[in-house]
Amino acid sequence: MSDAPLLRNQSGTARDRDPAAPLADLELETAIGHNARRLRQQHGLSVAETAARIGISKAMLSKIENAQTSCSLTTLSRLATAFEVPVTSLFRGADIERPSAFVRGGTGARIVREGTKEGHEYQLLGSLRGEHKRLECLMVTLSETSETYPLFQHPGTEFIYMLEGAMDYGHGRSVHRLEVGDSLQMDGEGAHGPVALVELPIRFLSVIAFPDATV
């Protein structure tokens, strides 16, 4: 086993969950943790200072902020008092519905793009508009060669993951040989598209993250 340290995503949290625990409870714990950290930082307090102020351990406060434990009513009251806010402020965001998009296999809508009539099929796996960006996921199948290939340019960043076949894929002045398991992440503003279909049929997953200003 490698001695290399585990990499952790610093932009979010991860935790173990009892399979029997209702997801609604976890959403509540997440909201409390997020609000507790936000209020502590707004007051310029460290974890140690806040823990001492409300009479709990640093470890416990850390678990609360990372949604790894449930708060007692007494602790919630002490947190609210320490931050000089109503207790309800700690629940803010718990009732917000977070969107998701589920598409059962084989039911994704077919969409028409350049090249569709020449053995190029685009199946929409999901399109989700979050708070800041729009994410579009496509399953692309190339089953026939042709004399011309589509060339795309669009705002945002695109990620391609090869599932079947092989192709040469151009982006700007570069050409990449993509085979099963290969991936390519690129700036969508650079002209990109297949240059040569090496091994048919070709299937790849395309995920495009459009920037804030994209309608």
Tens-place pLDDT, residues 84-133: 999 988 988 776 666 666 677 777 777 766 555 567 777 877 776 765 56
Average pLDDT estimate for 54-65: 91
Q: How confident is the model at residue 9, as a pLDDT?
A: 46
Average pLDDT estimate for 7-36: 68
CB 137 within 8 A of CB 206: yes
Q: Same domain, yes or no, for 130 and 82?
A: no
Instruction: Kindly tell me the sign of the dihedral angle through the C-alpha atoms of 10, 186, 168, 109.
Output: positive
Residue type, 79: L
Confidence label for 17 from pLDDT (cuts 50, 70 and 90)? low
Average pLDDT estimate for 206-215: 76
Q: Same domain, yes or no, for 116 and 77?
A: no
Looking at the structure of the chain, the number of domains it has is 2
Asked whether residue 9 is domain-assigned, the answer is no
The domain that contains 77 carries what CATH number?
Answer: 1.10.260.40
Which region among 19-23, 27-31, 46-50 has the lowest average model confidence (pLDDT)?
19-23
Q: Same domain, yes or no, for 70 and 163?
A: no
Q: How far apart are CA 11 and CA 9, in angstroms?
A: 6
Average pLDDT estimate for 140-155: 84
Nearest to 161 by CA among 180, 133, 189, 142: 180
- Output phi, psi for 145, to 5 deg: -80, 160
Higher pLDDT, 42 or 11: 42
Last residue of a domain, one of 57, 91, 125: 91
Range of the domain at 149: 109-210
Q: Same domain, yes or no, for 165 and 131?
A: yes
Q: Same domain, yes or no, for 152 and 86?
A: no
Q: How confident is the model at residue 2, as a pLDDT?
A: 46
Q: Same domain, yes or no, for 77 and 126?
A: no
Q: Same domain, yes or no, for 159 and 117?
A: yes
Confidence label for 8 from pLDDT (cuts 50, 70 and 90)? very low
Asked whether residue 169 is domain-assigned, the answer is yes
CB 27 within 8 A of CB 93: no
CB 108 within 8 A of CB 139: yes
> Average per-residue pLDDT in the chain?
81
Asked whether residue 16 is domain-assigned, the answer is no
